[in-house]
Amino acid sequence: MRFILALTSLLFLSAFLGFTESDIFAPGDSAPRLAPSRLGSESLQATRFQDNDTEKNEEEEEEGESITASAFPAHALGDQSLSINAGLFIPLFFQEFSGPYHATNLTLGGVGNLQWNAYLSPYWRIGLEIGGSFCFSPNEHTLLMLPFTFKVAYVISVSRFEFPLYAGFGVNIIRYRDWSHLDLIFKPGFGAYWRYDLNWSFGLNVVWWLDFQYADLHQSPAQARMGNFLEITPSLFYHF
């Protein structure tokens, strides 16, 4: 009797185990595979993870493109910059204070300067400039000018471009052969710059030089005049 009960229990256990394996293992498979319901659940989760990763990557790409395409952060109080400029110097004409104009009889020359600027706001900056220019007379004598100016600029920003409108006031040391003179100078101008990155800008300046040459004690008042010159200079800016 006990033998029959034991045999019956063994057969029942074998039938139960056989049913469980057929539900989990496929016939003839040597390795287990997931039941359909569990496989579908994990596939759905994997699909969701992939969708999340794709959306995240798209958001990062859009954010990077928007930063690249948009303007850089606006300048703030305390921001500074250094620039170096070098280019063409064009003598235009002399004008007497009474009105008549005269040719300069000077050749084309060269000009260069160094600038330091400090920002008061995103739109206004002040600075100092030291520079020099040279050109030649018909007899190949050199006219040298060394201006020192204080500059004020209003900066218009459009995306990655900046367009400063500025004016410089200062003194100009003139040297021609054995003659030297100290004049007042006014330099209005404008520029156009492209912001390469947060630290560097490249651009072009166009500046009008108005040199006020007053007669000294050894000259007649008729020799007083204004010298008009034009500066066209490529420019390199470093922001910090």
Q: How far apart are CA 68 and CA 26, in angstroms?
A: 55
Q: Half-sphere exposure (CA, 13 Å, Cβ side) for 172?
A: 24
Assess if residue 75 is contained within a domain: no
Q: Assign residue 149 the CATH number of its domain.
A: 2.40.160.20
Q: What is the pLDDT of residues 134-170, one digit of tens each?
A: 999 998 899 999 999 999 999 999 989 999 999 999 9
Tell me the mean pLDDT in the region 183-212: 95
Would you give the DSSP letter of residue 98? Answer: T
Q: Does residue 196 share a domain with residue 91?
A: yes
* Structural domain contains residue 152: yes
Of the two residues 108 and 20, the one the predictor is more confident about is 108
pLDDT band at 48 (very low <50, low <70, confident <90, very high): low
> Which carries the bigger pLDDT value, residue 64 or residue 225?
225
Q: What is the mean pLDDT of residues 228-239?
A: 96
pLDDT at position 225 over 60? yes
pTM strictly above 0.85: no
In terms of residue numbers, what domain contains 183?
Answer: 80-239
Note whether 125 and 150 are within 8 A (CB).
no
Tell me the pLDDT band of 8, cut-offs 50, 70 and 90.
Answer: low
Cα 89 from Cα 27, distance rounded (Å): 93
One-letter identity of residue 16: F
Clarify whether residues 109 and 179 are in a common domain: yes
- The answer to whether residue 74 is domain-embedded is no
- Residues whose CB falls within 8 Å of the CB of residue 19, separated by 6 or more in sequence, listed in order: none
Spatial contact of 229 and 95, defined as CB atoms under 8 Å apart:
no
Which CA distances in Å does 109 have to 79, 90, 94, 123? 34, 6, 16, 33
Q: Which two tokens stand for residue 220?
A: 């007649």
Collapsing DSSP to helix, strand or coil, 51 comes out as: helix
Q: How confident is the model at residue 74 (pLDDT cuts 50, 70, 90)?
A: confident
CB-facing half-sphere around the CA of 118: CA atoms within 13 A: 6
Give the C-alpha separation, 94 to 76, whole Å.
41
pLDDT confidence bin for 110, thresholds 50/70/90: very high
- Measured distance CA(215)–CA(91) in Å, rounded: 20
> What is the DSSP code (8-state) at residue 96?
E
Asked if residue 51 has pLDDT above 70, the reply is: no
Q: How much of the chain exceeds pLDDT 90, in percent? A: 53
Mean local confidence (pLDDT), 65-83: 74
Counted domains in the chain: 2
Report which of residues 74 and 33 the model is more confident about.
74
Q: How far apart are CA 129 and CA 115, in angstroms?
A: 4
In angstroms, what is the C-alpha Rg of the chain? 40
Q: Which of 69, 98, 124 is the last residue of a domain?
A: 69
Q: Residue 174: inside a domain, yes or no?
A: yes
Per-residue pLDDT at 129: 97
Domain check: are 181 and 228 in the same one? Answer: yes
Query: For position 62, what pLDDT does the model report?
Result: 52
Rounded CA separation 72/220 (Å): 55
CA 141 remoteness from chain centre: 41
Mean pLDDT lowest for which of 136-150, 187-201, 211-225?
A: 211-225
Say which residue the tokens 């699909």 belong to.
47
Could you tell me if 233 and 137 lie in one domain? yes
222 and 106, same domain (yes or no): yes
Please report the pLDDT score of residue 71 as a whole number: 62
Question: Does residue 106 surpass a pLDDT of 80?
Answer: yes
Kindly report, residue by residue over 167-181, the tens digit of the pLDDT: 999 999 999 988 888
- Whether residue 101 is found in the same domain as residue 194: yes
Which has the higher per-residue pLDDT, 204 or 217?
A: 204
Nearest to 132 by CA among 116, 149, 117: 149
Q: Give the model's pLDDT for residue 72.
A: 76
pLDDT for the residue numbered 168: 96
